[in-house]
């Protein structure tokens, strides 16, 4: 017997979009294709490409962290020596 998975599983969103992209064009272009066979194919693809659902993995994005910073200009209170 196999071990029970530590986390639940779901279909990965980027892969779902990639699978759909190719099949939707086929649905609209070909009049002779039946939509149910494509839906069954998508279901099997989604079931075979599952990713774990990890709790508390919503990482906040801090775009200011990667902003290019310049070195502050420090003025002197005296003239340069010769």
Cβ contacts of 5 within 8 Å, gap of 6 or more: 52
pTM: 0.49
Residue range 8-57, pLDDT digits in tens:
888 778 888 888 887 777 777 777 777 777 778 888 888 888 888 778 77
- The verdict on residue 46 lying in a domain is yes
- The verdict on residue 78 lying in a domain is no
Burial annotation 39-78 (CB, 10 A radius, 16+ → b, else e)? eeebeebbeeeeeeeeeeeeeeeeeeeeeeeeeeeeeeee
How high is the pLDDT of residue 81? Answer: 67
- The verdict on residue 71 lying in a domain is no
- The verdict on residue 43 lying in a domain is yes
Number of domains in the chain: 1
How high is the pLDDT of residue 2? Answer: 58
Q: How far is residue 42's CA from residue 47's CA, in Å, rounded to a whole number?
A: 9
- The verdict on residue 58 lying in a domain is no
- The verdict on residue 41 lying in a domain is yes
- The verdict on residue 26 lying in a domain is yes
Range of the domain at 38: 8-50
């Amino acid at each position: 017997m196999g071990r029970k998975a530590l986390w639940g599983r779901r279909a990965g969103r980027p892969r779902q979009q990639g699978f759909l992209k190719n099949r939707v064009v086929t649905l609209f272009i070909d009049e002779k294709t039946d939509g149910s066979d494509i839906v069954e194919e998508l279901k099997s693809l989604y079931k075979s490409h599952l990713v774990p659902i990890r709790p508390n993995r919503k990482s906040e994005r801090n775009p200011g962290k990667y902003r290019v910073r310049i070195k502050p200009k420090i003025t002197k209170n005296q003239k340069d020596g010769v």
